[in-house]
Structure 1
Amino acid sequence: MSVQQILKTIEENSIMFVDFRFIGLNGGVHHITLPVSEVNEETFENGVAFDGSSIPGFRGIEESDMVMMPDTESAFVDPFTLHPTLNIMCNIFTPAGERYDRDPRSIAQKAEEYLQKSGVGTAAFFAPESEFFIFDDVRFENNMNSSFYSVDSEEAAWNTGRKEEGGNLGYKVAVKGGYVPVAPTDAQQDIRSEMVRIMEETGLKVERHHHEVATAGQAEINFRFSTLTTTADNLIKYKYIVQNVAKQWGKVATFMPKPLFGDNGSGMHVHSSIFDGDTPLFYEKGAYGNLSKLAMNYIGGILYHAPALIALTNPSTNSFKRLVPGYEAPVNLVFSKGNRSAAVRIPIAAVSPKGCRIEFRTPDSTANPYLAFAAMLLAGLDGIKKGLDPVALGYGPFDKNIYELSDDEKKEIRSVPGTLEEALDALESDSAFLTESGVFSEDFIANYIAFKRNEAKQVAIRIHPHEFNLYFNV
């Protein structure tokens, strides 16, 4: 979309404000809003200034001036604002006109440019399955002398005996019993459909929605794949719509991986493939999973670099509350066709040559999608470059239920890191696959690790309520 088309959209939709948005290190969206009287062609040529020192992990106060440069292809009319508003994603530049190397969106674009320069293919396609919970109430507090959290849902298993409903009607979702039931057990059909309606109005192509496995309102909505940066933009839009529709309905949506103890957490399984023009490069009829050698090398790169990769795809301390055996969590660094206990799954049902892809099941939605998708692509390309054979490296294929293997058999399988700190250690020792291409700078990696280690420390030094159960009367 050209600048002239943007200005025409503003006029045709009686737009009163233009919201310029950018992505922080943690994947959070920040914005500055201009009235249309201040928006013209020069706005798109010169950008919108902001204070980079006020964004965590971005810039020191002595070099705080930064510029948002609008990407007109990302524009959509905001479905939630009282006054007609056009939203536009931006890339971050320095005042000297240089692309800022800590801008996640620019990193995603550089990864796409690197793919094209590599000669492997022309485009990488991504499709995330981002799960979430819809709660009716959430409360939490952390003080010097107290710490607690509490979430509640009308359909939660723990509410079978609740009286406050004015007559409990039952129809609660059992623990691990929430996969695709119909109403009245599924109490959230209409709210998910409303989310889908608005997603489609804003340009997302939605394929389906359904209740997920966990009790208390776990949900999933799948939107159509696209190229790397566009998919990351779409995921940001998706989360924005989910959270705002939930708020309109008097509920709250969270993409936190593990808000409930004892039931499935929320993941973000990521499908990816590489094309050369219109030719899919991952397909080879009759091979294992109908995957080409190039696709197998891509899997080899993903699994070989997985411990470091997970620092970007599962970048929260809460991520590792989900990555434990027994809750369909993909903790085993192996690949398999159709097997959901493997970190890398090869979908084989109703797959065409162009639909042939790999599914990395470990990530979750605390990931900054621009960083996560870029890092996945670079890990896969490193596997292609070095000819990493996942079979020779001992990554499978494993076509058994890995959770049911004996302890001796499990010893042969490498697992994901057990904590965020372990993942950051892995990234610290294995980051060349990200930096050698120039997509991620060494400064970015060092800054990211320091930023995330501080998060881990903030959790580690705080007193956990369960410690009172374990130690108070010792």
Structure 2
Amino acid sequence: MSVQNVLDLIKEKNIEWVDFRFVGLSGKAQHISVPASEVEEETFENGVAFDGSSIHGFRGIEESDMVMMPDIETAYVDPFTAHATLVIMCNIHTPDGERYDRDPRAIAQKAEEFLQTTGVGTTAYFAPESEFFIFDDVRYETGMNKSFFEVDSEEAAWNTGRKEEGGNLGNKIPVKGGYVPVAPVDTQQDIRSEMCRLLAETGLRIERHHHEVATAGQAEINFRFDTLTKTADNLLKYKYIVANTARQYGKVATFMPKPLFGDNGSGMHVHSSIFNGDTPLFYEKGGYANLSEMAIHYIGGILYHAPALIAITNPSTNSFKRLVPGYEAPVNLVFSKGNRSAAVRIPIAAVTPKGCRVEFRTPDSTANPYLAFAAMLMAGLDGIKKKIDPRALGYGPFDKNIYEMSDEDKAEIRSVPGTLDEALDALEADNDFLLEGGVFTKDFIDNYVDFKRGEAKSVSIRIHPHEYALYFDC
């Protein structure tokens, strides 16, 4: 697509506003809307100015001027706005035209560029499976004298006795009983189908959708893989469309990893592979799960660096409420074919050579996708470069249900960090693999760790409601 193509699209679709978007450190999209009548060829050459000091984790107030440089390949028409709006993702530059090294999208692009310099391959492909909940009601508050949350769903197991429905219609989903039931148990077929329609309308190739395991409206939609940065762009689009479609139905969607106690959380299982041109490099017929030695070493890099990696792929305190045994959470740092109890799984059902891939099951959707995918690629490339063999390091393969192993056998298996602070400690101790090729910088990592430690502290110093149940009558 050329700039002229975009200008022609603005006229053809009677676009009133052009929404220039970028992504901050947290992974949330930010935007500035410009009247379409003011968007000219020079807009794409000079960019759109914004205040970087107002974005957490970006710039100080003394160096606040920054520029969004539009990426015209990302343009799509917003399906929700009353006034016709064209959305375009942007890269962040400094006023002197330099690429901003704290821009997550720039880091993703540098990771792709670094891959091409290694001689390993030309392209890395990524495909996230980002799960979410659709609730009917959500309430929460935290203050000096109160702290609570409450969510509700017409599907929830706790509503079998509710009268407010005008006659309870039953068919509630039991705890851990929500995997792919049909209607009337699954009440959200139409809302997921509408999400998929809009995702396809805005350029995503949809593979499937279904109800997920947990009660209270857990769902998953899978879209087609793409290159690293494009997939991160697609994931932001995916979350935007899921959230706003839910809102149109009078509901609310959340990608929070663990919104409910006692049932499965929402992960973001990430599939990845490396190609050289059109040739898949992870496939070798007859190898373990038909994996090449390159793929095995890629897995070795992921698992070896996993404690540090998890600070980026699971960057919230809530992430570690999901990463506990017993809820299909991938807490074991091992690899296996088809085994969902392992942190790294190799899908083996209906897989072709080009579909041969590695699935890292630990991440969740609080991750900034540009940073998470870039960090995964850098860990995998380090494994390939150093020929890190996960078999020699005791990372598997484990082809049995790890949850059912004896405590003695489990003691030999490394687990994920137990808290966000532990993961950040690991990142501080192990980040050289991220610095290769200048993909991540020391400044970025230091700033990121400080930013996330602030989040962890804000949670740790607050009084938890369950502490009243435990200690009020001490």
- TM-score after normalising by structure 1: 1.00
User: Aligned runs of 1:193-212 on 2, under 5 Å?
Assistant: 193-212=193-212
Match of 1:343 in 2: 343
1:152 correspondence with 2:164: no
Q: Tell me the amino acid that sits aligned with residue 334 of structure 2.
A: V
Match of 1:333 in 2: 333
Distance 2:88 2:460 in 1: 38
Q: Tell me the amino acid that sits aligned with residue 158 of structure 2.
A: W
Match of 2:143 in 1: 143
Residue aligned with 2:438, SS:
coil
Q: CA deviation at 1:264?
A: 0.1
Match of 1:453 in 2: 453
Residue aligned with 2:355, SS:
coil
Residue aligned with 2:87, SS:
strand
1:116 correspondence with 2:116: yes
Deviations 1:181-213 (A, max 9, x none): 000000000000000010000000000000000
Q: Tell me the amino acid that sits aligned with residue 300 of structure 2.
A: G
Distance 1:121 1:6 in 2: 32
Distance 1:331 1:8 in 2: 50
Runs of 4+ in structure 1 deviating by more than 6 angstroms, as ranges, are none
Matched-pair identity in %: 80
Match of 2:417 in 1: 417
1:259 correspondence with 2:296: no
Distance 2:121 2:303 in 1: 21
Distance 1:27 1:58 in 2: 12
User: Aligned runs of 1:296-307 on 2, under 5 Å?
Assistant: 296-307=296-307
Q: Tell me the amino acid that sits aligned with residue 204 of structure 2.
A: L
Q: Tell me the amino acid that sits aligned with residue 384 of structure 2.
A: I
Residue aligned with 1:22, SS:
strand
Match of 1:291 in 2: 291
Q: Tell me the amino acid that sits aligned with residue 438 of structure 2.
A: G
Q: Tell me the amino acid that sits aligned with residue 376 of structure 1.
A: M
Distance 1:450 1:143 in 2: 24
Distance 1:152 1:39 in 2: 44
Match of 2:173 in 1: 173
Distance 1:213 1:180 in 2: 8
Q: CA deviation at 1:37?
A: 1.4
Residue aligned with 2:83, SS:
coil
User: Aligned runs of 1:62-461 on 2, under 5 Å?
Assistant: 62-461=62-461
Deviations 1:196-252 (A, max 9, x none): 010000000000000000000000000000000000000000000000000000000
Structure 2 unpaired stretches of 5+? none
Distance 2:413 2:331 in 1: 10
Distance 2:109 2:330 in 1: 28
Q: CA deviation at 1:36?
A: 1.1
Distance 1:106 1:82 in 2: 32
Q: Tell me the amino acid that sits aligned with residue 301 of structure 1.
A: G
Deviations 1:248-289 (A, max 9, x none): 000000000000000000000000000000000000001100
Distance 1:58 1:230 in 2: 23
Residue aligned with 1:393, SS:
coil
Residue aligned with 1:167, SS:
coil
Residue aligned with 1:437, SS:
helix
Q: Tell me the amino acid that sits aligned with residue 417 of structure 1.
A: P
Residue aligned with 1:339, SS:
coil
Q: Tell me the amino acid that sits aligned with residue 174 of structure 1.
A: P
Q: CA deviation at 1:437?
A: 2.1
Q: Tell me the amino acid that sits aligned with residue 9 of structure 1.
A: L
Distance 2:54 2:338 in 1: 45
Match of 2:13 in 1: 13
Q: Tell me the amino acid that sits aligned with residue 204 of structure 1.
A: L
Q: CA deviation at 1:113?
A: 0.2
Q: Tell me the amino acid that sits aligned with residue 149 of structure 2.
A: Y
Distance 2:465 2:54 in 1: 33
Q: Tell me the amino acid that sits aligned with residue 428 of structure 1.
A: E
Deviations 1:145-203 (A, max 9, x none): 00000000001000000000010010100000000000000000000000001000000
Distance 1:437 1:36 in 2: 39
Distance 2:78 2:164 in 1: 37
Distance 1:278 1:435 in 2: 28
1:60 correspondence with 2:60: yes
Residue aligned with 1:417, SS:
coil
Q: CA deviation at 1:331?
A: 0.2
Q: Tell me the amino acid that sits aligned with residue 409 of structure 1.
A: D
Q: Tell me the amino acid that sits aligned with residue 63 of structure 2.
A: E
Q: CA deviation at 1:436?
A: 2.6
- TM-score after normalising by structure 2: 1.00
Residue aligned with 2:299, SS:
helix
Residue aligned with 1:394, SS:
coil
Q: CA RMSD in A?
A: 0.4
Distance 1:279 1:245 in 2: 38
Distance 1:35 1:342 in 2: 50
Residue aligned with 1:344, SS:
strand
Residue aligned with 1:436, SS:
helix
Structure 1 unpaired stretches of 5+? none
Distance 1:450 1:19 in 2: 31
Deviations 1:303-334 (A, max 9, x none): 00000000000000000000000000000000
Residue aligned with 2:270, SS:
strand
